[in-house]
Amino acid sequence: MENVSQDREDRIDASRDLIDGYLEEKKYLLARDELVQFKAPDIAEILEDVSDDKGLRMTVILFRLLPKDTAVDVFSYMSADDRVNIIKEITDKETDFIVGELDFDDKIDTLEELPANVVNRILERTPKNERKQINTFLNYPEDSAGSLMTPEFVSLKKHWTVPEAMEHIREVGTDAETVYTLYIRDDAWKLIGVVPLSALVTAPEGTRVGDLMRTEYVCEYVTADQETVSADFKKYDLLAMPVVDRERRLVGIITVDDIIDVIEDEATEDIERMNGVVDLDNSDRGYLDISVWQHAKNRLPWLLILMVAYIFTGMIVTGFENTLSKLPFLIAYIPMLMGTGGNTGSQAATLIIRGLATDEVELGDWFRVLWKEIRVGAVVGALLSVFNFARVLIIDGQSVMTAVTICCSIILIVIFAKVIGSMIPLIVKRAHLDPALIANPAISTVSDSVALSIYFFMAAIFLHL
Amino acid sequence: MENVSQDREDRIDASRDLIDGYLEEKKYLLARDELVQFKAPDIAEILEDVSDDKGLRMTVILFRLLPKDTAVDVFSYMSADDRVNIIKEITDKETDFIVGELDFDDKIDTLEELPANVVNRILERTPKNERKQINTFLNYPEDSAGSLMTPEFVSLKKHWTVPEAMEHIREVGTDAETVYTLYIRDDAWKLIGVVPLSALVTAPEGTRVGDLMRTEYVCEYVTADQETVSADFKKYDLLAMPVVDRERRLVGIITVDDIIDVIEDEATEDIERMNGVVDLDNSDRGYLDISVWQHAKNRLPWLLILMVAYIFTGMIVTGFENTLSKLPFLIAYIPMLMGTGGNTGSQAATLIIRGLATDEVELGDWFRVLWKEIRVGAVVGALLSVFNFARVLIIDGQSVMTAVTICCSIILIVIFAKVIGSMIPLIVKRAHLDPALIANPAISTVSDSVALSIYFFMAAIFLHL
């Protein structure tokens, strides 16, 4: 599909080739001139590519040649790893400038990633008031509202008129994260209302802020989980949200651009957990930035748990060993029956886990879910067994009773796997855990054991073993 | 974790009990009074619960008792199914009022869900100009920028001064979707620049719009895919984006609240596809609203494809049948080896598919991915084989050579599964298809066959079969 993004990407790719050429000829200023025509997020992306291809040194050279304001902006769009690397390479004076000019929330993000000794050195050179504020923010738990917010909001006085309010916004607005929502506090700093800028702009001049103020607004405590915050943004279509402490004093605001990142990170976390990858060091680093050891550590917990489960699966098979050695053709269907159980189980689990995450399914719906999955399982199982009846008789040339054994097994396996796959996430949720944590591998392993037991039971009935 | 959301939820739950009581006693006005104290998204949620518990009729009664403006607002937050149901129950006059007052994008969303004859009846009663515009918007392909945008933006003239611009915003702003970004078109309606309201508000009075205007802005064509649009919002931290036609005429804008829904829907689609569920009727309906038949249809395609694959898996096992009946204890390890192959393969696939979706992994990285997965596979495989060496010798009491067979198999299976799981998504992406479409079930089934082949090969070597 043709689109404007594509034009932009093409232009960036063309420039990248030019920049690569300039860098090889050491024409750094020409490379810089090529770079500055783009927006900060694009420059950040190009610099990351340069550091992948030509090493960090080249990125640092280019970065230091950027106009100072652009450099700060670009810095805020870089990945955590790149920020740390750049800080390590530039002078203290350059660091102070960048850290000083960053938006408050980007400043906190950066400091959180840096080694403690570097942070301390930066803080020593920071004015005392700001140092105190930074330390407070650094202490909010990761994934809390406190760690997402910025103190750079604009507050108005209740008794101000519209022109007075507009004058105040003109004065302080450029340093704020947003001027589109304005906050009204009482003398004890307690939040008493919010005014959208649109209301101010469209109000008659004589109106007072207090008359425009909305006293019913959505806010959260600093300790609220970021998932709760993003659920509020989704439900109430917010652009920004005030964050308050226990005494309902306004301490910061969260803006929608940071929430978009949260929604994406939460989806990534769910997807990974559902497929048995646990992010043990809880980093937001990308796949390529995670070391081999960390990757192995993230993937081992579930595999090891499953190894224990397979000891039981092994026992089920061993208990049936004699029969299988008498009727060895039965072995050929084990992979199909196990696989079908695992796959249908994880289909059901996926739908329920995602439904719970997006609030489309609730705990109280458990019976409706159960009844729906039993019926879906019966329909799916019946259709799959028609296919397999033909396969066993025609392709494999086995007896009718063998075909009946396989088909009855399939129907029961699919129904059981759907029930297991849909109920386990609800039980886990009931225990106040993340349903995504009981990953699909676990569900398919449970389904495996159930599938084998059903198979051997059916064989005993129909083949008189 | 304690938070403000929880207080709100508790208050809503308490009110729900009250409302349920009032409804049973047919005290509808009291129920209405209880309802209207909440925000529109909360009222919509309560009404959906009422219709689940007490039937649609109750919801319609309550809905019609709401103040007119609230009713429109609540309507826009309801699910597609509920909107259609309500339209079916209310009078034409009520329908006209609601459809007339809805924001343009909500209007289009609603009309898209209604049966054609109802839409035609509504359009017959709509003024000709608006009817034409609605028809244009209804024709944009689903999932395109055109289907997300609204024509309700505010445009300014380049030569206006700040007070002139502010006056215009005051006049037309209340009907617009947003006044926080303003658009400047030339006489041929071509978009020439954008101005954020914050720039207008903080500019000196004498400044002209043209001086504040940014001519470098991010926009997309009406035909652009919604994934491209949401990627732009994420990358450039946008609140709104202009959408242009082939001649670069501004035809609409997309606002960030709609993009949040897109990001969530795309994540849901990816998660479902990765686990072998294909949304065949491409609806955004929730799990509980989808019929049993539709659920079965969505899940069958992959299961049937896999059934064909299992014919080959069956052949591999059959080729080894004699050995297995001679050494039946080897059968007990088939589930574990297959399961481990499937699970490790889908771990790798998950990370790569998600990495591609969030632009952390690119096609050009294939060799880095391959090399990383081989090493991760070696580490994971080695650790799992230590565990299994002990299991086979001690718990199962088998010979050392059997343990060696199992352990060598595990290491090779894990490495192969990691390579398969990571490379298949890249190959699919290279073919310009959605990597999530080659679902984890497929990857684990391929891994199954590879696992069995490796196992039997190792047994032949170490056990001299």
The pLDDT assigned to B1 comes to 35
Please tell me which of the candidates B1, B276, B396 has its beta carbon nearest to residue A347.
Answer: B276
**Chain B nearest C-alpha distance from A360 (Å):** 6
Q: Is residue A1 very low, low, confident or very high in pLDDT (cuts 50, 70, 90)?
A: very low
Interaxial angle between packed helices A104-113 and A92-101, expressed in degrees from 0 to 180 and rounded to the nearest 10: 140
Using the Cβ of A267 and the Cβ atoms of chain B, whether some distance falls under 8 Å is answered with: yes
Share of chain B above pLDDT 90, in %: 33
The pLDDT assigned to A465 comes to 65
Mutate to test the interface with B, among A303, A318, A356, A394 (most CBs of B within 10 A): A303
User: How much is the average pLDDT of B237-244?
Assistant: 93
Please tell me which of the candidates A174, A296, A347 has its beta carbon nearest to residue B202.
Answer: A174
Using the Cβ of A364 and the Cβ atoms of chain B, whether some distance falls under 8 Å is answered with: no
Instruction: Specify the 3-state DSSP secondary structure of A122.
Output: helix
Bridge partners for B183 per DSSP: B155, B194
Render pLDDT for A412-448 as a digit per residue (tens, 0 to 9). 999 999 999 999 999 999 988 888 877 677 887 888 8
Mutate to test the interface with A, among B216, B310, B389 (most CBs of A within 10 A): B310
Residue by residue, DSSP assigns A47-93 as HHHHHHHH-HHHHHHHHHHS-HHHHHHHHHHS-HHHHHHHHHHS-HH
**Chain B nearest C-alpha distance from A168 (Å):** 9
Name the class of domain A155-263: alpha beta
B51 has pLDDT over 60: yes
Q: Looking at per-residue confidence, does B362 or B6 come out higher?
A: B362
User: How much is the average pLDDT of A322-328?
Assistant: 81
Question: Which residues in chain B have their CB less than 8 angstroms from residue A392's CB?
Answer: none
Share of chain A above pLDDT 70, in %: 98
Instruction: Identify which of A54, A45, A56, A33 has the alpha carbon closest to the alpha carbon of residue A8.
Output: A45
The pLDDT assigned to A372 comes to 93
A11 has pLDDT over 90: no
Size of interface A-B (CB pairs under 8 A): 385
The pLDDT assigned to A208 comes to 94
User: How much is the average pLDDT of B213-230?
Assistant: 91
The pLDDT assigned to B465 comes to 65
- From chain B residues 56-95, the ones with a CB under 8 A of any chain A CB are none
Cα–Cα distance measured from residue B412 to residue B370, given in angstroms and rounded to the nearest whole number: 15
**A203-234: buried (b, 16+ CB within 10 Å) or exposed (e) per residue?**
beeeebbbebbeeebbbbbbbbbbbbbbbbbb
Q: Which residue has the tokens 């102070």?
A: A96
**Chain B nearest C-alpha distance from A87 (Å):** 22
Mean of all residue pLDDT scores within chain A: 88
Render pLDDT for B137-187 as a digit per residue (tens, 0 to 9). 888 888 899 989 998 899 999 999 999 999 999 888 888 888 899 999 998
Pairing of strands A220-221, B181-185: unpaired
Using the Cβ of A440 and the Cβ atoms of chain B, whether some distance falls under 8 Å is answered with: yes
C-alpha dihedral, A242 to A246 to A249 to A250, nearest 10°: -20
CATH, domain range A287-462: 1.10.357.20
Contact predicate A201/B201, CB 8 Å: yes
Instruction: Identify which of B286, B290, B292, B285 has the alpha carbon closest to the alpha carbon of residue B113.
Output: B285
Cα–Cα distance measured from residue B455 to residue B465, given in angstroms and rounded to the nearest whole number: 12
Cα–Cα distance measured from residue B406 to residue B113, given in angstroms and rounded to the nearest whole number: 56
A2 has pLDDT over 50: no
A3 has pLDDT over 60: no
As annotated, the residues of chain B forming the CATH 1.25.60.10 domain(s) are 4-139
The pLDDT assigned to B3 comes to 54
CATH T-level fold of B4-139:
MgtE N-terminal fold (1.25.60)
Render pLDDT for B251-297 as a digit per residue (tens, 0 to 9). 999 999 999 989 988 888 888 888 888 877 766 677 888 888 888 88
Cα–Cα distance measured from residue A70 to residue A32, given in angstroms and rounded to the nearest whole number: 11
CATH T-level fold of B155-261:
CBS-domain (3.10.580)
Q: Is residue A107 very low, low, confident or very high in pLDDT (cuts 50, 70, 90)?
A: confident
As annotated, the residues of chain A forming the CATH 3.10.580.10 domain(s) are 155-263
Mean of all residue pLDDT scores within chain B: 88
Render pLDDT for A267-288 as a digit per residue (tens, 0 to 9). 888 888 888 888 777 666 778 8
As annotated, the residues of chain B forming the CATH 1.10.357.20 domain(s) are 287-462
Other CB atoms within 10 A of residue A120 CB: 10
Using the Cβ of A369 and the Cβ atoms of chain B, whether some distance falls under 8 Å is answered with: yes
Question: Which residues in chain A have their CB less than 8 angstroms from residue B361's CB?
Answer: 286-288
Q: Is residue B109 very low, low, confident or very high in pLDDT (cuts 50, 70, 90)?
A: confident
B381 has pLDDT over 90: yes
Q: Which residue of B has its CA nearest to A366?
A: B288
Render pLDDT for A193-249 as a digit per residue (tens, 0 to 9). 999 999 998 888 789 999 999 988 899 999 999 989 999 999 899 999 999 998 889
**Cross-chain residue pair A220–B3, CB shorter than 8 Å:** yes
User: How much is the average pLDDT of A151-160?
Assistant: 92
At residue A227's C-alpha, the angle toward residues A225 and A231, to 5°, is 125
Q: Which residue has the tokens 């565990």?
A: B387
Sheet holding A155-156, edge to edge: A155-156, A181-185, A191-196
Cα–Cα distance measured from residue B67 to residue A321, given in angstroms and rounded to the nearest whole number: 72
